[in-house]
Amino acid sequence: MGGQGAGAQSAAKGVWVLDTRATILDRIETVMGGDDWQVECFSDARRALLHARHEVPDVIILGLGENTIEPADLLAIRNDVEAVAGVPLIALYGQGDVISVDEVMAQGVADAVAVDNLEDELVRRVQWQLQSHEPRAPKASRLASIDGLSAMRTFDFLVRVIEASPNAIVVARRTGEMVLFNPAAEEILGWSKDEVLGTTVRRLYPPGGAERIMQMIRADAHGGTGMIESLREVVVDSEGELIPVEISAALVCEDDREIATVGIFSDLRQQMRMEERLHEAMEALENTQRQAVVAEVAGAAAHELNQPLTSMLGYVDYLRRQFAEGDELHRVVSTIYDDTSRIAEVVRKIGRVTRYRTRDYAGGEQIVDLDEASSVEEVDEIPEVDEINDQKRTAEIDRITPGEQREGE
């Protein structure tokens, strides 16, 4: 793309696009049409390789569809050409591609963007790769001694620390290839180190999980740019079972250059089982407390109602005996006696309440189910009138109505 002035060109970053699809090239030119970019599109990958003899881009975008050189072959050639071997490469993938994202990532592709997300993601991913691939300082010895230990002894010490960690530690190159898998990771996930080293880290996550975590690492909402801290996620073990874990992860950089990612996670299954048991225990405690309150209130209410109800039944029975069975007043008093007896039965049930049980009531309300809440055993706190001691009842009635003769005497 032309049109920039000399000053703009000196500051612009060179972006090469290798793709045979004209629509894709047009979309990329539209998205990266500002003065910050010097975009060159190559529908023929062979031209790009020839052009690399004279000019080196800052980043390369490679379409994984049909090309004049197969993407796998092109990557192999690119890795052999010293001028562009270190240039970060972003794959542009979509449906029907001739090669998978996993395959190209294993061959050194730094990142991948879906064609459907091109407008939303491409510029941000290019900027990230440019920041992560600043020119490196001359390589020097990066192993320093600690407390007088030699560099080799320090390395051995760090290896032992990683191997002894109770938390799973997994390290992968920026291409996704796993290079470290400690014993705790073997125990949690069920794979041996030999089975996973050299394979893609994506196998440890549900579909799309690795990409989503990488997006969070590169955002600043979960601990800061370049890391995530104490995030609950799920990983996949060797049997395909989802394992809940708490994960922390970070980018590993050398001289401000992204070289790997490290993930540290702990198994949450035992903790979640404990949380579930604690929740059940709290619910049981609340239910026990509720039942205790209901039983106490029911017992107090039954106790307070027992005596007046017993007395009421005695007086109503006395009145009933004063009238002949065919008399209208005998019928009225008998009705009062029957209803009072029903109240007495309800009070007996209240006195036997030992647990909290409810049933539906009008208007969607819930009320205590006395039949279910009462114990099975019969506790006759309120005796039937026929079981009242005749002598006590006679003395009570004689005291209230002296000189009157009771029916039947």
pLDDT of amino acid 375 = 54
Position 55: which residue type? E
Q: Give long-range contacts, CB 8 A cutoff, 24+ apart: 35-41.
A: 35/4, 35/8, 35/11, 36/11, 36/12, 37/1, 37/12, 37/13, 38/1, 38/4, 38/9, 38/12, 38/13, 38/14, 39/1, 39/15, 40/1, 40/14, 40/15, 40/16, 41/16, 41/17
Q: What pLDDT does residue 361 have?
A: 77
Intervals of CATH 3.40.50.2300 along the chain: 6-132
CA proximity to 223, closest of 195, 260, 193, 249: 249
Run of H or E including 204? none
pLDDT by 10s per residue, the chain, length 409: 443 333 334 467 889 888 888 888 888 888 887 778 888 888 887 788 777 777 888 899 988 876 667 777 777 777 666 667 778 888 888 877 767 777 777 777 888 888 888 888 898 888 888 877 654 443 333 334 344 444 445 666 777 888 889 999 999 988 889 989 999 999 999 999 899 998 999 999 999 888 888 888 888 776 667 888 888 899 999 999 999 999 999 998 877 788 889 999 999 988 888 988 988 888 888 877 877 777 777 778 777 888 888 888 888 888 888 888 888 888 888 899 888 888 888 888 777 776 667 777 777 777 767 677 665 444 444 444 444 444 444 444 444 443 344 444 4
Number of Cβ within 10 Å of residue 88's Cβ equals 23
What pTM, to 2 d.p., does this model score?
0.40
φ, ψ (nearest 5 deg) of residue 104: -75, -30
Q: Give 262: exposed, middle or buried? Use CB within 10 Å, 0-12, 13-18, 19+.
A: middle
Q: Any idea which fold 160-267 has?
A: Beta-Lactamase (3.30.450)
**What are the Cα distances from residue 296, in Å, to 345, 363, 375?**
19, 28, 14
The answer to whether 350 and 301 are in contact (CB under 8 A) is: yes
Q: How many CB atoms lie within 10 A of CB 368?
A: 19
**Which residues neighbour 366 within 8 Å (Cβ) at sequence distance 6 or greater?**
358, 359, 360
The DSSP secondary-structure symbol of 200 reads B
The strand ranges marked E within 126-226 are 168-173, 178-181
Closest C-alpha among 27, 11, 17, 85 to residue 48: 17
Let me know if 367 is exposed, middle or buried by CB neighbors in 10 A (0-12, 13-18, 19+). Answer: exposed
The rounded Cα 102 to chain-centroid distance in angstroms is: 27
- Return the pLDDT at 263: 92
Of 3.40.50.170, 3.40.50.720, 3.40.50.2300, 1.10.10.10, which CATH number belongs to 6-132? 3.40.50.2300
Cβ 379 vs Cβ 351: under 8 Å: yes
Q: How far apart are CA 288 and CA 10, in angstroms?
A: 77
Q: Is 139 left (phi over 0), alpha (psi -120 to 50) or beta?
A: beta
pLDDT at 190: 93
Pair 276, 255: CB distance under 8 Å? no
Alpha helices in 190-268 (DSSP H): 193-196, 209-218
Q: Is 407 left (phi over 0), alpha (psi -120 to 50) or beta?
A: beta
Q: Return residue ranges of the chain for CATH 3.30.450.20.
A: 160-267
137 in Cβ contact with 115 (< 8 Å):
no
Residue type, 332: V
